[in-house]
Amino acid sequence: MGIAIKYFKAYFLIAGYNTSSKEEQQYMAEKGIGDFMGQQLMIIAAAPLIGLILDRSGFIWGTEVGSGLLLILVFYTVIAAQRFAPPSSFYSSGKVKRKASNSKTIIIALVISTVVFIGVFGIVFWTSQPTEFTLEQNELKISGAYGTVIPYSDIENLELSETIPEIELRTNGLGMGSIQKGHFKIEDMGDALLFMRSRSGPVIIIQCKEQKMVMINFAEPEETRILYQQLKANVDT
């Protein structure tokens, strides 16, 4: 869209421009709205690519950096684009009828976007909180986001792996830095429910009857080993 607007004059793609009068469109075009919007859209498109490059380069917060940059650029573009709107003096001659101001609409849109962003941030914050693992008499209780209960009798295989299996895809969960929590697809192992706070081993792998595989680890390796030993003692009894 940025290329179409900047190099092929597809200004009808710009919200607000396509509903303006011919006089207003001419004013905005002469002020350079096409070049500005085209350039901004191309920069915005680069934001997630930067995040992907950082992520593939080993920076664990790469995706989050790209997403944050994308959000900042969108807000900046919406606000900065207002400088291309015709000023009050443009309508003083009376030859051009002033269109109803879009300022309130823009403010409402920004407020709604902010509320949505805060709501999403709240959900992400809640999901990212450390999971609580409780070893009950007959089951492992996992509390918090994506919490579940695993009866010891349902555990078919319990393993402590020193390496993390390759994660292919996040299907419904949170992948933020070293935190992997929720439903993922694991290479050569299928669907799994992850409660992980480290991208390095060890990791507890629990395979259950008629349930998704569960993978657990902590930021501190020793905590992972302790939980494994406690869980193994309960499963073996």
Counting the structural domains of the chain, the total is 2
- Give the pLDDT confidence score for residue 145 in this predicted structure: 94
Q: Are residues 118 and 82 in the same domain?
A: yes
Same domain, 111 and 194: no
35 and 75 assigned to the same domain: yes
Whether pTM > 0.85 for this model: the answer is no
Same domain, 114 and 154: no
pLDDT of residue 185: 95
The pLDDT, as a whole number, for residue 59 is: 76
The whole domain housing 200 covers 132-236
Kindly state whether residues 113 and 153 are assigned to the same domain. no
Claim to verify: residue 25 and residue 115 sit in the same structural domain: yes
- Judged by average pLDDT, the poorest of 5-14, 106-115, 126-135 is 106-115
On whether both 175 and 75 belong to a single domain, the answer is: no
Residue 106 and residue 47 share a domain: yes
Q: Tell me which residue has tokens 């051009």.
A: 96
Measured CA to CA, the distance from residue 30 to residue 44 in angstroms comes to 23
- The domain that holds 223 is classified in CATH as 2.30.29
Domain boundary among 82, 111, 127: 127
pLDDT-based confidence at residue 8 (cuts at 50, 70, 90): very high
Q: Report percent pLDDT > 70 for the chain.
A: 93
**Residues 140, 226: one domain?**
yes
Query: pLDDT for 186-232, tens place per residue?
Result: 998 999 999 999 989 999 999 998 889 999 999 999 999 999 999 99
106 and 142, same structural domain? no
Q: Are residues 228 and 138 in the same domain?
A: yes
pLDDT band at 31 (very low <50, low <70, confident <90, very high): very high
